[in-house]
């Protein structure tokens, strides 16, 4: 049953899309290269690639996301291989569910697309420990990513296992599969100098090792100026058309492995944006300067489930990508880039075989021509311009590129968006929030008297937890006489703790005294809180918390976290340093041990009814029914503080809404729940709250992009899909090639109403347009007549 959608428009087209699956060809392909491009079976091609990571979404979403990527004009999908999920314990492997790498690569081929496999095995990727399994850190005498025998042994072993797995499934293009490129290492130049000669020897060993695995396709190293032998060095960045110095040999093509579609966010960050216009400009400029493969990082970001995000990284990953976290098209970014790919394909012959030349028309103005293709570029970020080229005048908005596939017809301008826009909305679900009955279970606060790991000082956190949990308890006790304590009630001792990060919750005699935390830039912090002590035995219990392991930098195997020093200030006898006292450590929480977030585990503890405000270290559970309709869903936790959420035993990731960005708002307050995690009825929702919050404010919401808009100006070109190349001539596909505002309803939905229409000079953004000082009064009436008369909802 179709769900109505709200539509904002000037003119609209709502089309029902029928996608045809193109089965991957099963014949062997030769993949080679020269200084111009990659060559597949003797033919050159332009490659539009997008990063989509298989573990950042359930496998039930893979096909839909990949299909939308192909509809966006992509012909290559790029993914990392994530060592720590595939070999979490040494010699124990997992390639099931959303870790099924082989299935994911096969699916890419089934859709008729190519794949780039970034084996690494160091990947960074804002992924826990940069993809390294924690057990690797504990290999004796190991130094990561250097000419170190223990590291090279394990790296080669895993890399070879992945390559052999792909070969056994016949997934390389040389076997008839979709993989046309593989990557070894990742941005090694950023740390290479720290290792000096050991770094130089390592990077050459890594490249040589990879080539000897005989995949039948080229290998790449990103941001690696000295990529050895036939390994292609590639560019990562926002503007590789201007910043890339080029391949280290003239026989290698110009490839762009990461064009950042926005920026990943960490807790405490303000919103991150990158406009469709800016992104399109960078890609057009790259292809105008000999580029032949550009990859969007990310094209779909997805979700960092569980504890898989790196230090301080939010659960939502690259939501500003062309496909948002929920799998919906982020317009106009998706559509504007789709049109760019179509425009560049009209230029393919000249781009791959012509000779480039540059002609300057004054400051910041330059047409770049190749054979019969022109890129008219205005590099001025503030001022539009008009230039004369080959006898014709062309208007160029500020910081834009016009593409002329025949050196005379503008089919695309990077700043003139003719694709539709959309606006995302969250709506409280009636079905899911009906009669929610919350229950709670509170963690016990351990003391030194319990059976704990004893030590003479607080132990380093990761060496104890082995990254099996975010949590490590440190507890000690001190005996005080009355003369130690201040005599005045308004003077209190202060507990001072220096921590290496990332966070800590403090308890004295079982009472919560407060929390402290570092940041992504500065993990360490000092915690200072006044405390109430009593004569006799006083228990100090500290819960150390980490938010992921680091994913970048040199000497990752030597990073540390947790409590460093502990002192009590303001006693009558002065400062008491209790760092070197008897300490006990307890790994993890009781709720984790019992797995109270599962149905079976929840029966192992006693729950009590609750509502409203709750305290620290509290587990909550309730049951809900699947929301109405088919829209994606999420959970809103703005009234909580910090913790984690599980649905039917599956973690949807860490939340941290009490850590506010400079805008005064949390970096993320809504968290995606994949529908694949749900049953029709009685879904178990479990939340662990570290600090305290109002559980009644938690709600399940559905997500939609039901507001769609089109904004067209008289200076905009007609849509690029109305152009085709026959020989060297650009022709119209349809006789009527006028400028038009065109809309397509998402997911086969239908128009409910027209909320805004103006032929004139309206302004604003999708979902919030306002009439200007000139508007045809009949605009809205005419648009209503148009869509009521059309059986195709156009």
Residue range 575-608, pLDDT digits in tens: 999 999 999 999 999 999 999 999 999 999 999 9
Instruction: Please report the pLDDT score of residue 794 as a whole number.
Output: 57
The percentage of the chain sitting over the pLDDT mark of 90, rounded to a whole number, equals 85
443 assigned to active site:
no
Query: Tell me: the pLDDT tens digits for 742-785?
Result: 888 888 788 888 889 999 999 999 999 999 999 999 998 888 88
Q: What are phi and psi of 438, to 5 degrees?
A: -85, 140
Specify the 3-state DSSP secondary structure of 286: helix
Select which of 87, 258, 443, 689 is catalytic: 258
Phi, psi of 717 (to 5 degrees): -80, 160
User: What's the sign of the alpha-carbon dihedral 342, 348, 351, 354?
Assistant: negative
Rounded average pLDDT over 18-38: 71
Q: What is the C-alpha separation between 609 and 612, in angstroms, rounded?
A: 11
pLDDT tens digits, one per residue of 303-346: 999 999 999 999 999 999 999 999 999 999 999 999 999 999 99
Q: Are 777 and 734 in contact (CB under 8 A)?
A: no
Quick check: is 258 catalytic?
yes
**What is the rounded average pLDDT for all residues in the chain?**
93
Asked whether the predicted pLDDT for residue 498 surpasses 80, the reply is yes
Q: Percent helix, strand and coil across the chain, each rounded to 5? A: 20, 35, 45
pLDDT digits (tens, 9 = 90+) for 85-102: 999 999 999 999 999 999
- The answer to whether 322 touches 299, Cβ cutoff 8 Å, is yes
- The yes-or-no verdict on residue 2 having pLDDT over 90 is no
Strands 76-80 and 114-120: parallel
CA distances from 163 to 110, 170, 215, 429 (A): 20, 10, 7, 46
pLDDT score, position 13: 26
Q: Residue 8: pLDDT above 60?
A: no
**Per-residue model confidence (pLDDT) at position 20:** 31
Entry field: residues in the chain = 794
What pLDDT score was predicted for residue 359?
76
Q: Would you say residue 5 has pLDDT above 60?
A: no
Catalogue the E-assigned strands of 710-749. 723-726, 729-732
| CA dihedral angle for residue 51, residue 53, residue 56, residue 62, rounded to 10 degrees | 100
For residues 481 and 475, the answer to whether their CB atoms sit within 8 Å is: no
As a whole number, mean pLDDT of residues 355-371 equals: 71
Active site residue: 187, 320, 366, 689, which one?
A: 187
With cut-offs at 50, 70 and 90, classify the pLDDT of residue 9. Answer: very low
Predicted pLDDT at 725: 75
Which runs of E-coded beta strand occur in 640-762?
Answer: 642-647, 650-656, 670-673, 683-689, 693-694, 699-709, 723-726, 729-732, 750-754
Rounded distance, CA 367 to CA 375, Å? Answer: 5
Give the residue carrying structure tokens 């032949």.
Answer: 292
């Amino acid at each position: 049953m179709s769900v109505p959608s709200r539509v904002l428009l000037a003119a609209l087209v709502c089309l029902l899309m029928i996608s045809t699956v193109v089965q991957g060809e099963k014949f062997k392909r030769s993949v080679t290269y020269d200084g111009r491009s990659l060559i597949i079976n003797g033919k050159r091609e332009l490659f539009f690639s997008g990063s989509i990571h298989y573990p950042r979404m359930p496998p039930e979403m893979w096909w839909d996301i990949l299909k939308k990527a192909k509809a966006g004009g992509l012909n290559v999908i790029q993914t990392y291989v994530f060592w720590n999920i595939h070999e979490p314990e040494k010699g124990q492997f997992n390639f099931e569910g959303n870790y099924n790498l082989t299935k994911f690569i096969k699916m890419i081929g089934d859709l008729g697309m190519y794949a780039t496999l970034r084996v690494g095995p160091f990947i960074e990727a804002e992924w826990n420990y940069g993809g390294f399994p924690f057990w690797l850190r504990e290999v004796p005498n190991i130094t990561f990513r250097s000419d170190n025998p223990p590291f090279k042994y394990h790296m080669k072993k895993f890399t070879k296992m992945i390559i052999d797995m792909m070969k056994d499934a016949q997934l390389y293009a040389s076997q008839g599969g979709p993989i046309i490129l593989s990557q070894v290492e990742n941005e090694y130049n950023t740390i290479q100098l720290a290792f000096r000669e050991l770094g130089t020897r390592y990077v050459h060993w890594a490249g040589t090792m990879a080539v000897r695995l005989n995949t039948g396709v080229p290998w790449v190293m990103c941001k690696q100026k000295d990529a050895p032998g036939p390994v292609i060095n590639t560019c990562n960045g926002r503007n590789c058309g201007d910043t890339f110095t080029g391949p280290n040999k003239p026989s290698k093509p110009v490839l762009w492995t990461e064009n950042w579609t926005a920026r990943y966010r960490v807790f405490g960050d303000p919103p991150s944006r990158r406009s469709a216009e800016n992104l399109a400009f960078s890609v057009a400029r790259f292809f105008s300067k000999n580029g032949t493969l550009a990859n969007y990082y990310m094209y779909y970001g997805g979700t960092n489930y569980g504890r898989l995000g790196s230090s301080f990284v939010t659960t939502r990953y690259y939501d500003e990508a062309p496909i948002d976290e929920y799998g919906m098209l982020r317009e106009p970014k998706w559509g504007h880039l789709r049109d760019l790919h179509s425009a560049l394909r009209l230029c393919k012959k000249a781009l791959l075989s012509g000779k480039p030349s540059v002609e300057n028309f004054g400051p910041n103005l330059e047409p770049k021509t190749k054979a019969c293709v022109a890129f008219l570029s205005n590099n001025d970020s503030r001022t539009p311009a008009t230039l004369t080229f080959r006898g014709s005048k062309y208007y160029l908005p500020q910081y834009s590129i016009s593409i002329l596939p025949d050196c005379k017809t503008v089919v695309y301008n990077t700043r003139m968006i003719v694709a539709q826009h959309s606006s995302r909305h969250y709506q409280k679900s009636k079905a899911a929030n009906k009669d929610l009955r919350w229950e709670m279970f509170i963690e016990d606060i351990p003391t030194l008297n319990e059976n704990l790991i004893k030590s003479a000082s607080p132990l380093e956190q990761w060496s104890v937890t082995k990254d099996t949990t975010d949590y490590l308890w440190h507890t000690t006790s001190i005996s005080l006489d009355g003369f130690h304590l201040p005599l005045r009630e308004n003077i209190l001792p202060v507990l001072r703790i220096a921590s290496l990060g990332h966070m800590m919750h403090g308890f004295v005699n079982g009472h919560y005294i407060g929390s402290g935390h570092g940041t992504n830039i500065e993990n360490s912090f000092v915690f200072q809180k006044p405390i109430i002590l009593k004569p006799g035995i006083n228990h100090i219990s500290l819960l150390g918390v980490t938010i992921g392991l680091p994913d970048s930098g040199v000497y990752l195997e030597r990073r540390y976290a947790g409590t460093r020093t502990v002192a009590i200030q303001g006693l009558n006898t002065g400062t008491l340093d209790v760092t070197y006292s008897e300490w006990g450590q307890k790994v993890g929480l009781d709720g984790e041990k019992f797995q109270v977030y599962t149905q079976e585990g929840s029966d192992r503890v006693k729950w009590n009814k609750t509502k409203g405000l709750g305290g620290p270290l509290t587990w909550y559970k309730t049951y809900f029914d699947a929301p109405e309709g088919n829209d994606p869903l999420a959970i809103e936790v703005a009234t909580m503080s910090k913790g984690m959420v599980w649905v039917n035993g599956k973690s949807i990731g860490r939340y941290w809404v009490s850590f506010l960005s400079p805008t005064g708002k949390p970096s993320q307050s809504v968290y995606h729940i994949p529908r694949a995690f749900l049953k029709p009825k009685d879904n178990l929702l479990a939340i662990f709250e570290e600090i305290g919050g109002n559980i009644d404010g938690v709600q399940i919401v559905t997500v939609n992009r039901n507001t769609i808009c089109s904004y067209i100006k008289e200076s905009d070109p007609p849509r690029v899909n109305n152009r085709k190349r026959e020989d060297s001539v650009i022709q119209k596909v349809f006789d009527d090639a006028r400028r038009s505002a065109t809309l397509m309803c998402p997911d086969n939905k239908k128009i409910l109403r027209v909320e805004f229409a103006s032929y004139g000079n309206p302004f604003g953004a999708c979902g919030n347009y306002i009439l200007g000082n000139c508007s045809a009064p009949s605009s809205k009436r005419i648009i209503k007549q148009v869509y009521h008369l059309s059986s195709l909802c156009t």
